[in-house]
């Protein structure tokens, strides 16, 4: 645990503490009374209320729409299932600024719905809720569907033979086993929507603001670090509570990982009801997930002769010091470096947490590893600039600062992917190898590694895809001569002009294709016991 603890202490806890202290400390004195002052403001209370209720509404809507798809992917076998699973996951790894822009092009002024039927949903809460479902659909499908596929269907069939109705058999047999996974998925969706930034900023306009958006506004526009620090601590406390509950639900569902091989539970649809459900899920995926992505591609092709793509090779537009296409290679280089860091840190943490004799302190660190996904990325980004400015860690001018920030987001995915598999390894195999004279290193190399190799590759793929799409912290530390793809998209969108907008759509399409290719590769590597969130 030494390396993971040191990594998160230096590159997460220290920067967050530095920026928070600067906001709450003046003239060497802590002004804790500012908590009551800030939280007593009516505008801040409105932000807290909107942040909470929209997260609850987004979570409920996501579960309602995605749970049928979880059953379809778990129990039905149909053509192009792997491709569709990758398509479902692509929105989750896209930058939130791209998601917001895609829905703006779909439901905003001059968007597809406005052109066809005169319908506009921008600056309404419905646009935010639908974008959140688009972004978090895969969380429910993979988390719940992964466990659902491993539940032995013979248990429910036995209940039916004993006289239970289909509803009663599902309610008393399947639902209790599935409840921990549903709770875990709901908590993760709530976490991601509670901390939503890019989607709300683009689609909400000046009317709606979450905690994350308000922290950004107070920090970069109003320059009120005190209010930003108070809101950061409030969000930190809320996220900590959510993750503590999530860690408990994850431990409850781990015993179900050993039930059955999911490959034997999936069958071709039988009966009109199953075919109708499959058709409904496919239609939902097409309208809710594929259509917004299709709008991105369409907008990027509006210029004749692939004009927007060819403009990406031109550095004379004034938006960047280099050609926008340079951001593709920069992002790939940063993502490879971030993946390497995340694999080392996350794999070591997962190996330590997987020990049967891990104490309560170690189990608490499991929840802490997820904090970078929920704490304000704005805070982390500014914290990097403030905390890492003196020797021996003066990294503000180093290119390595960006991969470090991206690895903070990738490492939790490595832990979540590898930990269930490591815990499922029979300890007697290790003990037998040790009795036969194998050293601890040889036991790991010849017993653990062959069993977790696929999980390691899948973790690397997720870390790579997530690093490509990281935006919140990177936007503050990426250098003008080396922008990443999400930063380049955001800068192009912030400038007026049809050419800038078209280039943003072209870069977003490139990012989407790269992420889709990575996820398709993962689908060929995954097994039914690995690869779930």
pLDDT of residue 284: 92
Is residue 392 predicted with pLDDT exceeding 70? yes
Q: Distance between CA 373 and CA 235 in Å, rounded? A: 12
Tell me, yes or no, whether 36 lies in a domain.
no
pLDDT digits (tens, 9 = 90+) for 444-470: 788 877 878 777 887 888 788 788 878
% of the chain at pLDDT higher than 90: 11
Q: Answer yes or no: is 134 within a domain.
A: yes
Establish if 35 belongs to a structural domain: no
Number of structural domains the chain divides into: 1
Task: Give a yes or no: residue 34 inside a domain.
Answer: no
Is 301 domain-assigned? Answer: no
How many angstroms separate the Cα of 49 from the Cα of each of 209, 251, 333?
Answer: 10, 31, 41
Q: Does a structural domain hold residue 363? A: yes
- Find out whether 27 and 400 touch, Cβ atoms under 8 Å: no
Report which of 427, 404, 278 is spatially closest to residue 354, judged by C-alpha positions: 427
The pLDDT score that the predictor gives to residue 462 is: 78
How far apart are alpha carbons 469 and 480 in whole angstroms?
Answer: 18
The per-residue pLDDT for range 253-296, each reduced to its tens digit, is 554 444 444 455 677 888 888 889 999 999 999 998 889 888 88
- Whether 298 maps to a domain, the answer reads no
DSSP string, 12-61: IIHHHHHHHHHHHEETTEE-TTHHHHHHTSHHHHHHHHHHHHHHHHHHHH
Flag whether pLDDT at 358 surpasses 70: no
pTM value is 0.80
Per-residue pLDDT, averaged over 413-432, amounts to: 80
Query: Residue 3: is its pLDDT beyond 50?
Result: yes
Is the Cα dihedral 472, 477, 479, 480 positive or negative?
positive
Angle at 186 between CA 74 and CA 35, to 5 degrees: 160
Look at residue 29 in the predicted model and tell me its pLDDT.
Answer: 65
pLDDT at 122 over 80: no
Give me the phi and psi of 268, to 5 degrees please: -65, 145
User: What CATH code is carried by the domain that includes residue 186?
Assistant: 1.10.3720.10
Instruction: Identify which of 42-46, 170-174, 251-255, 259-263 has the greatest average pLDDT.
Output: 42-46
**Nearest to residue 190, comparing CAs of 373, 33, 8, 358?**
373
Across the chain, mean pLDDT equals: 80
**Alpha-carbon gap, residue 524 to 467, rounded angstroms:** 21
Among 164-168, 235-239, 435-439, top mean pLDDT goes to: 435-439
Q: Is the pLDDT of residue 526 over 70?
A: no
Q: Where is pLDDT greater, at 26 or 87?
A: 87
pLDDT digits (tens, 9 = 90+) for 237-249: 888 788 777 767 6
* DSSP per-residue letters across 409-454: HHHHHHHHHHHHHHHHS-HHHHHHHHHTT--HHHHIIIIIHHHHHH
Residue 533 covered by a domain? no
% of the chain exceeding 70 in pLDDT: 89
Residue 52's domain spans which residues?
2-24+41-292+307-525
Q: Which two tokens stand for residue 392?
A: 């021996």
């Amino acid at each position: 645990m030494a390396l993971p603890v040191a990594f998160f202490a230096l590159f997460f806890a220290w920067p967050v503490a530095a920026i928070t202290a600067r906001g709450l400390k003046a003239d060497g004195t802590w002004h804790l009374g500012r908590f009551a002052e800030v939280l007593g403001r009516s505008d801040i209370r409105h932000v807290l209320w909107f942040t909470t209720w929209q997260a609850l509404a987004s979570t409920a809507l996501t579960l309602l729409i995605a749970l049928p798809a979880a059953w379809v992917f778990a129990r039905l076998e149909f053509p192009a299932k792997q491709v569709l699973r990758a398509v479902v996951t692509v929105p989750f790894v896209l930058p939130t600024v791209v998601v917001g822009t895609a829905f703006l092009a779909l439901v905003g002024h001059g968007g597809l719905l406005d052109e066809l039927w005169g319908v506009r949903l921008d600056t309404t809460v419905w646009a935010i809720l639908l974008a959140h479902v688009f972004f978090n659909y895969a969380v429910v499908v993979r988390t719940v569907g992964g466990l659902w596929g491993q539940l032995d269907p013979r248990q429910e069939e036995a209940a039916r033979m004993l006289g239970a109705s289909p509803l009663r058999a599902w309610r008393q047999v399947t639902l209790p086993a599935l409840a921990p996974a549903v709770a875990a998925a709901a908590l993760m969706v709530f976490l991601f929507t509670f901390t939503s930034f890019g989607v709300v900023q683009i689609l909400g306009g000046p009317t709606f603001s979450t905690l994350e958006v308000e922290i950004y506004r107070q920090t970069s526009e109003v320059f009120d670090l005190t209010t930003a620090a108070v809101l950061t601590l409030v969000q930190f406390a809320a996220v900590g509570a959510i993750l503590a509950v999530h860690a408990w639900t994850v431990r409850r569902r781990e015993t179900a990982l050993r039930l059955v091989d999911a490959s034997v539970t999936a069958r071709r649809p039988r009966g009109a009801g199953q075919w109708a459900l499959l058709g409904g899920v496919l239609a939902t995926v097409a309208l809710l997930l594929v259509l917004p992505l299709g709008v991105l591609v369409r907008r990027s092709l509006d210029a004749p002769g692939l004009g927007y793509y060819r403009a990406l090779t031109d550095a004379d537009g004034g938006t960047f010091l280099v050609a926008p296409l340079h951001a593709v290679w920069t992002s790939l280089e940063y993502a490879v470096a971030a993946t390497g860091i995340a694999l080392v840190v996350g794999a070591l943490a997962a190996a330590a947490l997987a020990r049967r004799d891990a104490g309560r302190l170690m189990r608490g660190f499991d929840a802490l590893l997820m904090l970078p996904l929920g704490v304000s990325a704005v805070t982390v980004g500014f914290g990097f600039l403030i905390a890492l400015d003196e020797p021996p860690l003066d990294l503000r001018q180093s290119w390595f600062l960006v991969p470090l920030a991206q690895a903070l987001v990738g490492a939790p995915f490595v832990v979540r992917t590898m930990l269930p598999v490591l815990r499922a390894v029979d300890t007697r195999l290790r003990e037998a190898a040790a009795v036969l004279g194998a050293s601890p290193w040889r036991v790991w190399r010849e017993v653990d590694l062959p069993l977790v190799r696929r999980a390691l590759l899948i973790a690397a793929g997720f870390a790579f895809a997530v690093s490509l799409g990281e935006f919140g912290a990177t936007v503050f530390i990426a250098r003008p001569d080396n922008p990443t793809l999400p930063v380049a998209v955001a800068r192009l969108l912030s400038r007026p002009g049809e050419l800038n907008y078209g280039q943003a759509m072209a870069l977003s399409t490139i990012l989407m294709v790269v992420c889709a290719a990575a996820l398709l590769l993962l689908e060929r590597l995954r097994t039914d016991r690995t690869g779930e969130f």
